[in-house]
């Protein structure tokens, strides 16, 4: 009889498991939705598929600057060859009969790189954990967080402006001309200063100016951080600091008396 056919039994088992998975997934999603615990369901999805989203954001910028990856790729290939030759020499010196193949060397190199990346990531996690555990940061509340983000973004933008000036001999006409990955640029030059979800862009104070026209004067100005009553101001020497609203007039006065405007 067909019911005794092993292939049919296997098909029924697969269908049964698919139905069980579908039913339990539906129950869990429904439960998470009505109880407000849907975030707990998102976490494993991010762990499983988050790399795809990250790759979709990062790869376009990577391939747009592939020339900059030639030297690291050449160094990696040279290191792989040296590791392979060293291990083969070491095995031969010990009189081992083990046949060491290039694939083995690639695995060893990948493990070394993964270990190094894990160590760097762990140091970053520990650094951030210690920073977040700082009592003063929690006491500052959301205002302190926005001030920190504004200063951090300002310094990153100043680095981008410096690189642009070194390459083109002048500052860009707008921050949109910075040669960054579009996603990273959007995250840096636009700031939710008011905490209402509305992002405003940093202001470039000296568009198209030469380096000697700017000097150490102000270069960029953040959106107004309302709950702190301050702006983040970036300067030509790469520094950034917070200024209260009352001192904004001094920034404009500094711009008006720059040598390049005379």
Q: Percentage of residues in the chain with pLDDT exceeding 70? A: 79
Local confidence band at 40 (pLDDT 50, 70, 90 cut-offs):
low
What pLDDT score does 138 carry?
Answer: 47
Report d(CA 16, CA 10) in Å as an integer: 10
**For the ranges 38-42, 138-142, 163-167, which has the lowest average pLDDT?**
138-142
Q: Could you report the per-residue pLDDT of 65-102, keeping only the tens digit for each?
A: 667 778 888 888 998 999 899 999 998 898 888 888 88
Q: What mean pLDDT, rounded, does the chain reach?
A: 79
Between residues 187 and 122, which one has the greater pLDDT? 122
What pLDDT score does 256 carry?
Answer: 65
What pLDDT score does 199 carry?
Answer: 82
Q: What is the DSSP letter of 133?
A: T
Note whether 150 and 225 are within 8 A (CB): yes
Report d(CA 196, CA 225) in Å as an integer: 11
Report d(CA 97, CA 84) in Å as an integer: 16
Phi, psi angles (nearest 5°) of residue 86: -65, -45
If you average pLDDT over residues 232-260, what whole number do you get? Answer: 79
Local confidence band at 262 (pLDDT 50, 70, 90 cut-offs):
very low
Q: Percentage of residues in the chain with pLDDT exceeding 90? A: 2
Local confidence band at 187 (pLDDT 50, 70, 90 cut-offs):
confident
Handedness of CA 106, 107, 111, 117 (dihedral sign): positive
Predicted model pTM: 0.48
Domain residue ranges in the chain? 1-44, 72-132, 136-261
Smallest CA-to-CA distance from 224 within 205, 242, 206 is with: 242
Residue 64 has pLDDT above 70, yes or no: no
Note whether 41 and 32 are within 8 A (CB): yes
Smallest CA-to-CA distance from 203 within 211, 193, 212, 213 is with: 193
Smallest CA-to-CA distance from 248 within 225, 231, 262, 228 is with: 231
What pLDDT score does 89 carry?
Answer: 92
CA geometry: angle at 44 spanning 42 and 48, to 5°? 115
If you average pLDDT over residues 226-255, what whole number do you get? Answer: 83
Phi, psi angles (nearest 5°) of residue 6: -60, -35
Local confidence band at 211 (pLDDT 50, 70, 90 cut-offs):
confident
């Amino acid at each position: 009889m067909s019911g005794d056919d092993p292939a049919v039994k296997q098909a029924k088992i697969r269908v049964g498991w698919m139905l069980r998975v579908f039913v339990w997934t539906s129950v869990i999603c429904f439960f998470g939705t009505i109880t407000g615990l849907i975030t707990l369901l998102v976490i494993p999805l991010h762990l499983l598929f988050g790399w795809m989203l990250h790759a979709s954001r990062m790869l376009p910028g990577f391939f747009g600057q592939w020339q900059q990856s030639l030297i690291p790729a050449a160094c990696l290939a040279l290191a792989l060859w040296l590791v392979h030759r060293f291990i083969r020499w070491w095995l031969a010196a010990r009189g081992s009969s083990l046949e060491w193949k290039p694939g083995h060397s690639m695995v060893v190199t990948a493990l070394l790189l993964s270990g190094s990346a894990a160590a760097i990531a762990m140091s970053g996690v520990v650094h951030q954990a210690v920073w977040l555990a700082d009592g003063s940061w929690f006491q500052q509340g959301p205002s302190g967080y926005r001030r920190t983000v504004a200063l951090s973004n300002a310094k990153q933008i100043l680095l981008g402006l410096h690189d642009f000036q070194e390459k083109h001999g002048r500052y860009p006409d707008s921050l949109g001309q910075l040669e960054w990955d579009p996603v990273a640029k959007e995250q840096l030059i636009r700031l939710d200063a008011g905490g209402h979800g509305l992002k405003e862009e940093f202001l470039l104070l000296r568009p198209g100016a030469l380096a000697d026209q700017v000097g150490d004067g102000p270069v960029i100005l953040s959106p107004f951080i309302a709950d702190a009553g301050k702006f983040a101001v970036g300067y030509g020497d790469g520094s950034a600091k917070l200024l209260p609203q009352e001192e904004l007039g001094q920034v404009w006065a500094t711009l008006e008396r720059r040598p390049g405007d005379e």
